Amino acid sequence: MHIVVCIKQVPDSAQIRVHPVTNTIMRQGVPAIVNPYDLFALEEALRLKDQFGGRVTMLCMGPPQAEDSLRKCISFGATDAVLVTDRAFAGADTLATSYALAAAIRKIGQEQAVDLVFTGKQTIDGDTAQVGPGIAKRLGLNLLTYVSRIVEVDLDARRLKVERRAEGGVQLLDTTLPSLITMLEGTNEMRFASLDDMLRAGRFPVRRWNKDDAGIEDVSKIGLKGSPTIVSKVFGPTPRTEKADMQVVADSNPQDVTLNLLQKIFTTHPQIEAELVERLSA
């Protein structure tokens, strides 16, 4: 079984700070990590490899330093890693990104046919959830998003059964290989890296592909040129014109402050008090 897992290297968003005056992102010192949602995809792929044997090929598009993230995945047990990196990809939106990744997957498939492609549900920096569906459509793969459980894989019949999260329940879907799965978070727990795999990761020759290696045929479909969306403005949030009614506990005491607060809320918004009383009396 040959599985391709797509990952993205992202800044650890918990540690991003915005400059208070210029409203720009302060990138210095923000560590780069494997997009956390992608690890659920990787773990699921590794479990299938444990069960059926075969290969797990990691794929990432990004700057040269994204190699670190691929190495991390090798340390968990992935077989191979390809970094698609080229200045021509810069400024890509989700449509241009899915074009480049689809081309690279087609190329990887020439070495050994691909049975399954995995992605995370979404990234934590872009939060769009669009690249997975984009890759599936470009490669003509059956698209299975928000998969919460892989119920059954029958390699001989080339069939696949999954549970997919929907509003108010899960869909049980049956389809054929090859498919693309975007894995829901919290569906599995990432394994620990073995010492052997950690050592292997350290010296692993991550393959670096430029746009030609990745089999990009139409350069007008990658990077800024291949991106229909344009960021016209980036800005910080605007404060409300009316400032909050502030009380400081240190200037008074918690009892007075809270009593004061209750009185203010219920005087200004008597309907909130009325509804609370009504609901709690019922």
Which C-beta is closer to other proteins: that of 47 or that of 264? 264
Kindly state the smallest distance separating residue 221's Cβ from other proteins, in Å: 9
Least spacing, CB of residue 222 vs other proteins, in Å: 11
Whether residue 133 is preceded by a cis peptide bond, meaning omega within 30 degrees of 0, is no
Q: How far apart are CA 82 and CA 111, in angstroms?
A: 13
Measured from the CB of residue 274, what is the shortest distance to other proteins in angstroms? 9
Residue 208 CB, shortest distance to other proteins, in Å, is 23
Q: How far is the CB of 124 from other proteins (least distance, A)?
A: 6
- Residue 127: CB atoms within 10 Å: 11
SS3 76: helix
Three-state SS at 225: coil
Q: Which is nearer to other proteins, 11 or 54 (CB)?
A: 11
Task: Choose between 203 and 243: whose C-beta lies nearer to other proteins.
Answer: 243
Cα separation of 126 and 173, whole Å?
A: 28
Residue 38 or 93 with smaller CB distance to other proteins: 93
- Which of 195, 268 has the CB closer to other proteins? 268
Crossing angle of the two packed helices 254-268 and 270-281, in degrees rounded to 10: 100
Q: What is d(CA 105, CA 114) in angstroms, rounded to the nearest whole number?
A: 8
